[in-house]
Structure 1
Amino acid sequence: MFNLILVALDGSAHSLKALECAGELAVKHGSKLILLHAFQQTSDLLGSESFNQLVGERKEKGRQILEAATERLGQISVAVAENLLEGPAADAIISVVETRGVDLVVMGTRGMGSLKGMVFGSVSTKVTHHAPCSVLVVR
Structure 2
Amino acid sequence: MEGDRLRQPLRILFGDDGSEHAFAAAKLLCDLPLPSGSEIIALAVFPPTRINHYPTIKEQLESTCQQLRDRGISIQSEVKAGDPAETILDVATRQKANLIVVGALGLRATLGIFLGGVAQKVVEYGHCPVLVVRAPYEGLHRVLIVNDGSEHGWNTINYICDFPLPPQSQIYLLHVLPPLYPEDYLTAAWGMGNVPFPSLVTARPSVSAEKSEEEQWGEELLEKSRATLKEAGYSAEIFLRRGDAATEILQFAKEKQIDLIVAGSRGLSQVSAWLLGSVSRKLIHYAKCSVLVVRMA
Over the matched positions of the two proteins, sequence identity in percent amounts to 28
Q: CA deviation at 1:47?
A: 4.6
The match for 1:110 is 266
**Partner Cα distance (1:106, 1:33) in 2:** 10
**Partner Cα distance (1:9, 1:48) in 2:** 29
**Partner Cα distance (1:40, 1:119) in 2:** 13
**Partner Cα distance (1:18, 1:113) in 2:** 17
**Partner Cα distance (2:179, 2:276) in 1:** 16
**Partner Cα distance (1:3, 1:67) in 2:** 22
| TM-score between the two structures when normalised by the length of structure 1 | 0.86
| TM-score between the two structures when normalised by the length of structure 2 | 0.43
**Partner Cα distance (1:119, 1:48) in 2:** 23
The match for 2:242 is 86
The match for 1:55 is 211
**Partner Cα distance (1:131, 1:23) in 2:** 23
Q: 1:126 to 1:96 in 2, by over 3 A?
A: same
Q: 1:115 to 1:46 in 2, by over 3 A?
A: closer
The match for 1:135 is 291
AA at the equivalent of 1:95: Q
Instruction: Write out the 4+ residue segments of structure 1 that deviate beyond 4 Å after TM superposition.
Output: 43-47
C-alpha contact (below 8 Å) 2:181/2:204 kept by paired residues: no
What do residues 3-51 of structure 1 show as CA deviations (whole Å, max 9, x unaligned)?
Answer: 11111111112111212333444x53021111100001236698513x2
AA at the equivalent of 1:93: I
Considering only CA atoms, is the larger Rg found in Structure 1 or Structure 2? Answer: 2
Name which of 206, 230, 251 aligns with 1:74.
230
SS at structure 1 position matched to 2:165: helix
SS at structure 2 position matched to 1:54: helix
Show structure 2 runs of 5+ residues with no match.
Answer: 1-138, 183-201
C-alpha contact (below 8 Å) 2:141/2:259 kept by paired residues: yes
The match for 1:29 is 166
C-alpha contact (below 8 Å) 1:104/1:134 kept by paired residues: yes
Identify, as 1 or 2, the structure richer in helix.
1
The match for 2:255 is 99
Q: 1:131 to 1:114 in 2, by over 3 A?
A: same
Higher-RCO chain (CA-CA 8 Å, sequence separation at least 6): 1
C-alpha contact (below 8 Å) 2:259/2:290 kept by paired residues: yes
AA at the equivalent of 2:205: S
AA at the equivalent of 2:290: S
